Amino acid sequence: MAALQNGDIPSYTIIHADGLYEDDKLEQEILRSTDGSYKVEYSQTHLSPAGVPTYKPWATIDKELRDKVQGISILKPDFREADLELFPNLKVLVRMGVGYDKVDRVALDKRGVTLCNVPDYGTGEIADHAMALALSLRRGVVHHHDIQRGNPPAEWTPIETPLIARIQGATFGVLGLGLIGTAVALRAKAFGWNVLIYDPFAPNGIDKTLGIERTRDVKDLFRRSSTISVHCPATSQTVNMVNYELLSLMPKGGLLINTARGEVVNLDDVERCLRENVIGGVGLDVVPNEPIPVDGPIHPLLQAYRNQEPWLAGRMIITPHSAYMSPESLLDIRIKTAEVMRDNLINGMRVNVIPLHKA
């Protein structure tokens, strides 16, 4: 319920926790009342400004402000039960993006706080990025690029490797058919791949609608797909789901792409599969335990990649969770986040609400 001020006019206090923007004119315009029926106090608290991968503790926000806050939008910070206790009047939390694995949904549910996400701000960008990773590896772009700038450079001739193969007629597997998974499936189909999907939660008939094939067995997906693209959230059921057992089912020269959540893929098993030539290559926009430090210990596979070890030449691409990135998507996420906050907190609607039972 809104606080009442100035002659019983409802007032809403909303913060953007990260503090990513130079100003908040856009958000103010979307959130403001057009008829004077309510007031909004909106501010940025700068826990994790643009270009800063880490974030300050929630307790650094002034207590007087925390006690009034009814709506919070977040991009990078976690939000756990102890953080929730700092905001006694919180009603709506909007996660600026698709995933919500860093939010304590159980704690929010117990307090009656509505959790929302913004699943449609960068669908095209992420799908394009997944395809770019797949194409760069499958067509040998990365491999030839790496060896042509070697010391000494390779001979001016193509190389033979199980990673490089014809796309048309091969099978492209999609693990998870949400908005992004669907966009990837359509792109892969357009390139000439035979598309095979696995998603136990997708509605019946979606395969017929898209003109693709569906399997009800995740092992069948890996067994038949020479390229697999991961597009499922990180949940208790999916963490470490993509492991040695599944990867070892892929055809020789298999390719794994992950632009979803790093925790879904077991990185130890990916390294083992690459070293044993069980799979041909991997393209990762996400890894477990982000952000990865510039200095200090990191996973041995990531360290081998950074060291440009010869056994990984042309077989691995890493991008720093940047698949969503474009000026247009960054504008979209601002607009859609403010709209979702307004619709849920102020207008009493239920837009992009994540129920506790959702996987």
Backbone angles phi, psi at 159, to 5 degrees: -110, 155
Contact 287, 318 (CB under 8 A): yes
Per residue in 310-350, pLDDT (tens digit) is 999 999 999 999 999 999 999 999 999 999 999 999 999 99
Average pLDDT, the chain: 94
Tell me the C-alpha distance between 336 and 353, whole Å.
13
In this prediction, residue 1 has a pLDDT band, given cuts at 50, 70 and 90, of low
Q: Structural domains in the chain?
A: 3-121+327-346 (3.40.50.720), 123-318 (3.40.50.720)
Stated pTM of the model:
0.90
Tell me the C-alpha distance between 229 and 281, whole Å.
12
What DSSP line would sit under 70-120, residue for residue?
-EEEESS--B-HHHHTT-TT--EEEESSS--TTB-HHHHHHHT-EEEE-TT
Contact 42, 27 (CB under 8 A): yes
| Cα separation of the two ends of the chain | 29
Tell me the C-alpha distance between 326 and 222, whole Å.
31
Kindly list the catalytic residues.
Answer: 261, 290, 321
Per residue in 65-81, pLDDT (tens digit) is 999 999 999 999 999 99
- State what percent of residues in the chain have pLDDT above 70: 97
Per residue in 149-205, pLDDT (tens digit) is 988 999 999 988 889 999 999 999 999 999 999 999 999 999 999 999 999 999 999
pLDDT value at 359 more than 60: no
